[in-house]
Chains A and B, each alone.
Chain A
Amino acid sequence: MLIDVGSLAVMGATLGTILGVAARYLAVEENPLEQELVALLPGAQCGQCGFVGCGQAAAALAKGEAPVTLCPPGGKAVAEKLAKKLGVSVDLSAAEEHEPEVAFVVEDLCIGCTRCIQACTTDAILGGPKQMHTILTDACHGCSKCFKICPTEAIIMCKVPVTLGTWHWSKPDLDQRH
Chain B
Amino acid sequence: MTLFPIRGGIHPDYRKEQTSEKAIVALPMPHFLYLPLQQHIGAPAAPVVAVGDVVAKGQVLARADGPVSAPVHAPTSGRIVEIGDSPAPHPSGLPQPTIVLEADGEDRWIDLAAPLADPFAATPAEIAGRVAEAGIVGLGGATFPSSVKLRLGQQTKLDTLLLNGAECEPYLTCDDRVMREYAAEVVDGARIMAHALGTQRIIIAIEDNKPQAQAAMTEAAAVGHTGIEVIGVPVQYPMGSERHLVQALTGRETPARRLTADLGVVVHNVATARAVHHALRFGRPLLSRVVTVSGGAVAEAKNVDVPLGTKVAELVAFCGGFTGEPKRIISGGPMMGQPLPSLDVPVVKGTSGILALTAAETNEQARQPCIRCGTCVTICPCGLVPVEMAAFIRNDKLDGAARLGVMDCVSCGSCSYICPSHIPLVHYFNYAKGMLNAQERDRRKTETVKRLVETHAERVEKIAQARRAAAAAAKAQAELNKANGASA
Contacts and interface: CB of A to CB of B under 8 A. Distances in A.
Interface of A: 42-45, 77, 100, 120-124, 138-139, 141, 162-164, 166-172, 174, 176-178
What 6 A-B pairs come out closest when comparing CB atoms?
Answer: A168-B434, A122-B452, A43-B450, A178-B367, A169-B430, A141-B449
Contacts of B88: 164
A139 B94 CA distance: 24
Interface string B244-285: 000000000000000000000000000000000000000000
B370 A169 contact: no
Contacts of B434: 167-169
A154 B363 CA distance: 53
B200 interface: no
A176 B48 CA distance: 51
Given A77-B442, A163-B94, A172-B431, A178 B369 contact: yes
Nearest to B96: A164
B475 interface: no
Nearest to A167: B92
A43 B366 CA distance: 46
Interface in B382-408: 393-394
Nearest to B424: A172
Q: Which of A43, A100, A141, A178 has the largest number of chain B CB atoms within 10 A?
A: A178
A176 B367 contact: yes
27 contacts: A42-B446, A42-B450, A43-B450, A43-B453, A44-B449, A44-B450, A45-B457, A77-B439, A77-B442, A122-B449, A122-B452, A124-B452, A164-B38, A164-B88, A164-B90, A164-B94, A166-B441, A167-B92, A167-B94, A168-B430, A168-B435, A169-B431, A169-B434, A170-B431, A178-B367, A178-B369, A178-B370
B340 to A, nearest CB: 14
Nearest to A162: B94
B427 A169 contact: yes
B38 A178 contact: no
A122 to B, nearest CB: 4
Nearest to A53: B453
A57 B346 CA distance: 51
A177 B431 contact: no
Nearest to B91: A169
A168 B437 contact: yes
A122 B451 CA distance: 8
Contacts of A45: 453, 457
A67 B218 CA distance: 71
Interface string B420-437: 010110011011011101
Contacts of A100: 442
Interface of B: 38, 88, 90-92, 94, 96, 366-370, 393-394, 421, 423-424, 427-428, 430-431, 433-435, 437-439, 441-442, 445-446, 448-450, 452-453, 455-457
Contacts of B445: 141
A84 to B, nearest CB: 10
A138 B444 CA distance: 11
Contact of A121 (B366, B441, B456): B456
Contacts of A138: 448
Contacts of B427: 169, 172
Contacts of B370: 178
Tell me what chain A mostly uses at the interface: helix, strand, loop, or mixed: loop
Contacts of B369: 177-178
B452 A139 contact: yes
Q: Which of A44, A167, A172 has the largest number of chain B CB atoms within 10 A?
A: A172
Given A43-B446, A77-B442, A176-B367, A123 B430 contact: no
Nearest to A141: B449
Given A42-B446, A123-B456, A178-B423, A171 B90 contact: no
A42 B424 contact: no
B370 to A, nearest CB: 6
A132 B1 CA distance: 71
Nearest to A74: B446
Contacts of A169: 91, 427, 430-431, 434
A139 B453 CA distance: 10
B433 A168 contact: yes
A168 B439 CA distance: 12
Q: Which of B430, B435, B437, B452 has the largest number of chain A CB atoms within 10 A?
A: B452
Q: Which of A43, A122, A169, A174 has the largest number of chain B CB atoms within 10 A?
A: A169
A172 B431 CA distance: 8
A141 B433 CA distance: 24
Contacts of A123: 452, 455-456
Contacts of B393: 171
Contacts of A177: 369
Contacts of B442: 77, 100
Contacts of B368: 178
Nearest to A122: B452
Contacts of B439: 77
B92 to A, nearest CB: 5
Nearest to A80: B396
Contacts of B90: 164, 167
B453 A172 contact: no
Nearest to A174: B394
A178 to B, nearest CB: 4
Contacts of B38: 164
Nearest to B95: A164
B453 A122 contact: yes
B443 to A, nearest CB: 10
Contacts of B431: 168-172
A166 B428 contact: no
